[in-house]
Amino acid sequence: MTTEASTTRAVFKGSLMRNLILATAVLLASVTMAVSVGAVSVPASTVWGVILNKLSPELIETTWSNGRAAIVWDIRFPRALLAAMVGAGLAAVGASLQAVTRNPLADPHLLGISSGGAFGAILALLHTGLFLGLLTVPLMAFAGSLLATALVLGVSNFAAATSADRLVLTGVAISFIIMAGVNILIFLGDPRATHTVVFWMLGGLGLAHWAHLIYPFAILLPCLIWLYLRSSDLNAMTIGDETAATLGLNVVQFRLSVFVVGALITGVMVAFSGIIGFVGLMVPHIARLLVGGDYRKLVPVSAFIGGIFVLWADIAARTIMAPEDMPIGIVTGLIGGCFFVWLLKRG
């Protein structure tokens, strides 16, 4: 029995390692394409030459202009990294929420977490000001996401909507209420500044800067590690609350922990990218088609696929109406809406 268990673990680890190596290769290729494509095309060799030269000066002979170096290092590369982090975070949150709610349609957007993050960010931008410096918008966005999560849980308990499908319906209702509050904030804000909230409402990566990337990275990495370490508990939650409880899991506490971690990731991502919908709904289902429903595989693979998806959505957003940048939320909404219909057709 011990030999069989050891063999199973070895096969699982080998399969997971192959999947992660393949996903990493596709991710690097996607980052290269995202940095290369634009109003000014940059060859892939130049892209990685600039990056390696910045990381280790004088490692590679400089054969490119300062202008191209600035395009790659100061504009496109941080934007690509932010896209990868946003996609990874939203996809991992969507996968974990689908486990604890046992609903395949759960994601940060449908449960109102994204709307709460946007409410906090817009409140900071239009009304309170950056009273905590650069940390004001991320902290306010997180507070908004956490408030939305608390409202969903509180209303579901008040209305006795404890089933998984009714919890999602509660999230949709809370999302509409919060978006009404967002519209009030915009209406009461300075008309000269309200154009800036279009970024948060429709999603975009144009504000990516090196000085800002440390914040989403510092939140995303430990949260992804925590979700992966709790993947066995996520597997138990997909079976049912009673089964998970018989396995020794505190179901209520664990579900609350996942909601808080999801609110933390979503709030910070919304603070730097605006509302990008359907990533958390769509990507976990794609990952399940590829690696199955085991969350030991699903969490890391969803994160990789989410990063790749948002990278390519950003490429599309920058090329469809070049030289203008289309809001990335329009691209993900169009693709995600079609995927949603396909998911409903599958039952």
**Can you give the three-state secondary structure of 16-81, one letter per residue?**
HHHHHHHHHHHHHHHHHHHHHCCCCCCCHHHHHHHHHHHHCCCCCCCCCCHHHHHHHHHHHHHHHH
Q: How far apart are CA 340 and CA 147, in angstroms?
A: 27
Three-class SS state of 206: coil
CA-to-CA separations, 286 to 232, 240, 334, 345, in angstroms, rounded = 20, 23, 17, 15
Instruction: Write down the residue that tokens 């919060």 correspond to.
Output: 178
pLDDT per position as a tens digit, 219-259 = 999 999 999 999 999 999 988 878 888 888 888 888 888 88
- Domain 79-346, architecture per CATH: Orthogonal Bundle (1.10)
Three-class SS state of 159: coil
Instruction: Write down the residue that tokens 């690509």 correspond to.
Output: 80
Domain boundaries, the chain: 79-346
189 close to 129: Cβ distance less than 8 angstroms = no
Full pLDDT tens readout for the chain, 347 residues? 455 555 555 555 557 778 788 888 999 999 999 999 887 888 888 889 988 888 888 777 788 888 888 999 998 999 999 999 999 999 999 999 999 888 887 888 777 888 888 888 888 888 887 787 777 877 888 888 888 888 887 887 777 655 666 777 788 888 899 989 988 988 887 777 777 777 677 888 877 888 889 889 999 999 999 999 999 999 999 888 788 888 888 888 888 888 888 888 888 888 888 888 889 988 999 999 888 889 999 999 999 999 999 999 999 988 887 777 888 988 998 888 888 788 777 76
Q: Which helix (H) or strand (E) holds 300?
A: helix 295-319
pLDDT per position as a tens digit, 141-174 = 888 888 888 888 788 777 765 566 677 778 888 8
